[in-house]
Amino acid sequence: VHVLPREVFGKSTFGLAVMMMKWFPIWPLKGPLELKNSKGKTPVLDIGTLEKIRFGEIKVVPGIKRFGNGYVELVNGEKNEVDAVVLATGYRSNVPSWLKEGEFFSKNGFPKSPFPNGWKGNVGLYAVGFTKRGLSGSSYDAIKIAQDIAQVWKQETKQKKQRTNNACHKRCISQF
């Protein structure tokens, strides 16, 4: 996989490449544009992720053995507390090879529920980009997921506030 900067001298890398193809042939056999043309493999456009990995702001970990409530257990036995896990699996779904559950995904690696309902699974499992509807489908999924996470967060924080208020209220009454 080729990793390219998103921009060079303030110009889109892809736009520059297309413009340069008018004057220069695609001669590298394993170059990013040749792979795109021959195998459909798109180069990764880095928008700052590599630097964040380099400086430890993003942690790349070995394979995930299992998900727990608020944590993941890695194949090396390490357990990490997490708020979210982002798995980027590429253009072809290989989900059945690593996600061992039968409710959300079918054997072909796509959600069992068709668009527009294939974005939400059980216990906080979400999927983006399985709609086969390009960026607009991914955008739809991402918006629905963000709304769902916001709703869950509001419910969780509301319940905590209610418990705190009730406890205070009971203490206040018992003092009189």
Q: What share of the chain is helix, strand, coil (3-state, %, to 5)?
A: 40, 15, 45
Q: Residue 15's pLDDT is what?
A: 78
Taking 70 as the threshold, does the pLDDT of residue 157 lie above it?
yes
Q: Is the pTM of this model over 0.75?
A: no
- Tokens representing 68 are 């727990």
Instruction: Give the chain's length.
Output: 176
Average pLDDT (41-47) is: 74
- Identify whether 116 is preceded by a cis peptide bond (ω within 30 of 0): yes
At 36, the pLDDT band (50, 70, 90 cuts) reads low
Average pLDDT (104-111) is: 84
Write down the mean pLDDT value for the chain.
77
- Measured distance CA(19)–CA(26) in Å, rounded: 12
- Measured distance CA(110)–CA(104) in Å, rounded: 8
At 155, the pLDDT band (50, 70, 90 cuts) reads confident
State how beta strands 3-5 and 7-8 pair: unpaired
- Tokens representing 156 are 């969780």
**DSSP-derived 3-state class of residue 80:** strand
- Tokens representing 124 are 């906080």
Q: Where are the domains of the chain?
A: 10-42, 46-90, 103-166
- Measured distance CA(4)–CA(12) in Å, rounded: 11
Kindly report, residue by residue over 55-84, the tens digit of the pLDDT.
999 888 888 888 888 898 999 999 999 887
Average pLDDT (131-154) is: 85
CA 93 to centroid of chain Cα atoms: 13
